[in-house]
A and B are shown apart, each in its own frame.
Chain A
Amino acid sequence: MTALQAHDLWKYYGDFAALQKVGFEFAAGSCVALLGRNGAGKTTLLRILAGLSQASEGEVRILDGNPRQASVRSRIGIIGHGIGIYDDLSAEENLLTFARLYAVPNPAKAVDHWLERTDLARVRRGKAREFSRGMRQRLAIARAFIHSPNFLILDEPFTSLDDRAIALLQGLLKDALHQGATVVLSTHQLKEALELATHVLLLNRGKLAFSGVRTAEMLANPGWVYQHYGEAA
């Protein structure tokens, strides 16, 4: 089943084309590593996939629906540049709020489960503001997974994560992929991402420079895609 489809996507900011005729298709269970230099349009593309912004032209279909549809959004988990947690609320309250927004069937139980899973159960009543950076990152991961999404959109998720959080995230992503979820993640941390990835997309100044299966060669030489398809330095 096709989980992700984009067709002739264009995104303009005024007259500037941040995305130019981008198209791709991925089946369920794929893990897509989105690569590109800064300013290539990765965040723009991810925001469109997440329903945060609308493409100027073209069509996107996620899980066979429009990303803005509530039924589709309730199946998507996102981690953006910002961690998306409220500093004034406790870990528990943060997760409970998002569980209610995502209409999770048994919010309290889900919150308990994810606090355990991210090793934050001890500090469930602590304010997010008081947490260490690693704890905040783990809380963000819990927030993204609390509604058991089967589509994950992650914008540079490994950037500035500590080892514990990286291991946690990789574990969660592997589990999700095993269960048939689809993952799209943009990254500069090539090694961690390519370990998980089944496919690779390279964006270059808004255009799709490469779209293909992740090969063993890429895993051995993380910079392979940039070397062969990236823009001339």
Chain B
Amino acid sequence: MTYFNQVFAIAGKDLRSELRTKEALNASLSFAVVILLLFSFVVDPDSEMLEQMSGGLLWMVFAFSGVLILNRGFARELPNDCLDALIASPIPGSALFFGKAIANFALIAIIEAICFPVFGILYNLTWTAQLPVLVAVSALATWAMATLGTMFGALTVNMQLRELMLPMLIYPMLIPALMSAMQLTTLLVAGQAIDSEHIVWLRVLIAFDIIFTSLAAVLVETVLVG
């Protein structure tokens, strides 16, 4: 019980802090919308190619704009030595990790919730046919981003070039999850259900989430305690 209380104390604090200033959210959202717009120059919005590339485009947008949010994750603990205050408190490392990962997840989910309709409008696509499954897939992939982003945020928190290192570390490792999300999203945005040919991607996503979340929960305390 205390554990959950602590997790949500951290998540709540992070979310409250971010929603108050909206610094990272605004930057992330503007960036996402701009890329969505630019993409109309890459591919003819009326062509069939767009349907094939929809998943790829959307997840590229989320990955790039998501990093702007992930960069803030542990960085917000640096002013006033708040990170020390947190590590000295009785909160277990895994609870700190989950609290921050949940906050990051929620913030990136906000970006996605805005981008999906914008995408539908700009490119004249009905994307809601498979909405529940699409939400589930997005949640899994966003959690993958949040997990790796929070973990590597802890790893790079004291580095000078943190904002450069974080994307450099996250992107290559995230590729399997992104690939799965792209494959499934293309399918779902076009209104098709996940068939036996594509179910393997769902398995990859779930396995990715389970394995990396477990690794992170176990190793985060080692990283944070000097």
Question: Do these two chains really belong together in a complex?
Answer: yes
Q: Which residues of A contact B (CB under 8 A)?
A: 47, 50-54, 68, 70-71, 73-74, 76, 78, 80-89, 93, 97-98, 100-103, 143
Given A83-B80, A84-B80, A101-B6, 7 extra CB contacts under 8 A:
A54-B226, A74-B90, A82-B79, A88-B17, A89-B16, A97-B10, A98-B85
Contact B80 A101 (CB under 8 A): no
Write out the residue numbers on chain B whose beta carbons fall within 8 Å of the beta carbon of A70: 90-92
Identify 12 residue pairs between A and B in the complex whose beta-carbon atoms are under 8 Å apart, listed by A's number: A50-B84, A51-B225, A52-B87, A52-B225, A70-B91, A70-B92, A73-B90, A78-B84, A84-B80, A87-B79, A97-B9, A100-B6
Q: Which 6 A-B pairs have the closest CB atoms?
A: A82-B81, A84-B85, A100-B9, A53-B226, A74-B90, A70-B90
Write out the residue numbers on chain B whose beta carbons fall within 8 Å of the beta carbon of A78: 84-85, 88
Write out the residue numbers on chain A whose beta carbons fall within 8 Å of the beta carbon of B203: none
| Complex Cα gap A82–B88 (Å) | 13
Write out the residue numbers on chain B whose beta carbons fall within 8 Å of the beta carbon of A143: 85
The digit string for B48-69, where 1 denotes a CB below 8 A from any CB of A, is 0000000000000000000000
Scoring B12, B88, B92 by chain A CB atoms within 10 A of each residue's CB, the highest score goes to: B88
Q: B interface, by DSSP: helix, strand, loop or mixed?
A: helix
User: Chain B's nearest CB lies how many Å from the CB of A226?
Assistant: 28
CB nearest to A50 among chain B residues: B88
| Complex Cα gap A98–B6 (Å) | 9
User: Chain B's nearest CB lies how many Å from the CB of A67?
Assistant: 9
| Complex Cα gap A177–B2 (Å) | 29
| Complex Cα gap A51–B87 (Å) | 8
Q: Which residues of B contact A (CB under 8 A)?
A: 2, 5-6, 9-10, 12-13, 16-17, 20-21, 79-82, 84-92, 225-226
User: Chain B's nearest CB lies how many Å from the CB of A63?
Assistant: 13
Contact B80 A87 (CB under 8 A): yes
Contact B17 A101 (CB under 8 A): no
Write out the residue numbers on chain A whose beta carbons fall within 8 Å of the beta carbon of B91: 70, 101
Write out the residue numbers on chain B whose beta carbons fall within 8 Å of the beta carbon of A83: 80-81
| Complex Cα gap A14–B95 (Å) | 30
User: Chain A's nearest CB lies how many Å from the CB of B81?
Assistant: 2
User: Chain A's nearest CB lies how many Å from the CB of B161?
Assistant: 21
Contact B225 A68 (CB under 8 A): yes
| Complex Cα gap A68–B128 (Å) | 49
| Complex Cα gap A169–B148 (Å) | 42
Write out the residue numbers on chain A whose beta carbons fall within 8 Å of the beta carbon of B2: 103
Write out the residue numbers on chain B whose beta carbons fall within 8 Å of the beta carbon of A93: 13, 16
